[in-house]
Structure 1
């Protein structure tokens, strides 16, 4: 009886275009030749061009293993075993996942008999050697960082907001990451660009200086960001400028003529500046020091920079205290029609009618940035919806409660996924650390490194939030009708702060959709027992 034909998926990855890269053509030719030599069939060829190894682990390996698990293929063929990941641990993890479901992992250039202990040892050793070579390159890359700091240059050469490379190379419009790589190749022949000393960019340099000055004088940064947006400015990636994106640019101190490093980096040792790996946050302002850079500052004086730091530090050290709510629905009303997936919190305000009449409103926070054209929500209508909702529950004959209890009972069947999120956090942190090695090996350019670093940071934060939520989540209870009846009895005598505290016990959110100002149908109350399971409230 003839043996079964081995069906393989050929995976080809090229991280970046370098002289010593293994071309996709060579990888495919070698893979097909090897498959023919062992009598196997290539049923599909999967390419990852200009992508790094973590993309395979995150986006490709799951789909490939699923295809093997569904008996669409028998295994995966690569040019070298290190194509399975960017370090020994990840490569072995992916290989074991594949072999654990009965699939085979084949290398076209490394022929080990992995059915034996000696063969598996040889494969592991080969992966370890590849990782060692990348670690050596990584150490050299960190030394390069130290050399850049000695010369007054930032740890990477990507353009800083407000600056550009020189006064002769064209300044592009906001563009895609691929556009960045194309322009980088054009600048390789420019001697001014090669110096690495960036110069203030027209319009953007003065805009950065204006942001520093206005923030130091006490103006809200959201208002400054809105002014820059109305002036036609965007981030270099083409996005709307927000207070967060401005803070990210201003906290570096680059516009003040400085470079931001960790204290340990002052010795210019091999330690990688933390700013190269982790983005700064509001609570991290005192974890860094600023040293003079070779570039020119855009701010008018050192007093502006000192004023900026003073206000930033004051903002992170204000003692927390309870603020009395001015309105019953404070912090509960959210706009859901402005494009914000999570819903944007609305704040109290007022507007004037055509004849001078005053309307009390709830106003979407995205209006300030120009991202929301939502009409204001009526504060009077929201209060009316709340009161009617409370009355309905106070008069409920048990029907509504039975429906809600059935939904809560279904939630109790949800499995505990804390172990999943713990494993996911470990995986993401490993990939994030590995990102530095990939940049050191020049397998991704600096712009990709920054984008993927920020992407990982966001994914880790989201996973940690979901882990916290899964550990702290308790199936909500539905208050008895007597609670609502007692609340309605006391409602006319309660102040707004007490009303708000009571509503927070039973209402998660009040969503406002687009519609007529006084139309109560625009508003939907989501009670606490209908709150999404994975939604994490701010601590």
Structure 2
């Protein structure tokens, strides 16, 4: 009589490898994989797969570990094995949630180098202590990085030292075989690149000329064959981040320390509350303060424009609004004699998509009537400028325009800022070429004085920009007169671009239905850009939509 031996299939597990962004925690994936393979041999388990996360932080769970947890929840594998428990995560709340998901379906988490039995009270305590210590180490490292970043910003340097497009970067430490340890310390600085600085300036000029980020990326990659500072090709996001950073304007972009949106911890794409600050940097500027302000205004306008309206099909694209619900009006085609007429009418978007619950009355207006009213409004608004000019100039001296005085102050401040920038660049360059020329304390004192004065001038320019935010009607006189004279020769996209500079929107309000049932008694009202926006919240500036009263729904505005 023989006794058979039952061979059981080994349990299937998933291995997980994470290489940290923290330099001291950069344990190579090869070392982690070798330990996991040894654990697999020692325990008799078998890995279905090994998931690898390279250069990712353990402070959040927006990573591939979610795939491993989901595999356990589907009962595809028994559990997850890591090199050390710290590879699983370094966030106390995230660790608790992830472990709860594993244990809810009977899954397990084991460490290849920290053997313990988490099913016992002592083993569970040991694991919790390991997680707590890992969370402490992560927080401590984060505090050290924040202190380093604050120190660099105090020195008018970007938080992270690396090459920047349009500049030559002189790092703090440079290799030098003649120095002890093989490294020489010098003053970290940025100098204008003799060729790429001009390319950076043209990037802003092309963007202000209505080139898109994709067009700029194609221009840099295909026409100029210029890579990024990291040797990669340019993409839409790469171009956008560079231009938005303001570095080429001599500025540093930082996050408001009083904002609690967790920028830099839970997300890195930008402040959710829009509280990014610009401060003066020590680097020389490539573009002027005027160009930077024009770029910011252009970006704000583009963000507020619907994507389809950015490449306008009609003269009133993106400028037409429904007066009954303060929503946008969109084009609608019609059939006439068996042919389709595109953009024949404009209708209320809310009424079209949601019915009477979105906008009870709705809107139906011919596009031709809207365009005619826009042209007639220009004629009425600037009639005196077209044919009402006096034959003999007035002899009296007109009162001094406050805008002219403000422009003179701006020009004076910009000239002084240019002198400070030039002085700062000469000082840093002289010190780099001849470190013995100035005593260290003298150099640092003069540098700090110049950077402090630069910061004050930049702040003064920003305060003047806020005063100039609402333009004057006179600024648009020549533009409006030119549009009226050339109306019949301009194409739709040109009309739209020019009209968008003088009006926020044309409001169409319907109140009377015709025999077919459409509201055709239309009242038109134009909101010019030189007057305060009647639909905007006075606190946050956002346009208030909806059929109700003009009350902002933002929590911050309600609480104020």
> Greater helix percent: which structure?
1
Q: Computing the radius of gyration over CA atoms, which structure comes out larger, 1 or 2?
A: 2
TM-score by length of 2: 0.45
Compare relative contact order (CA 8 Å, sep 6+) and give the higher one, 1 or 2.
1
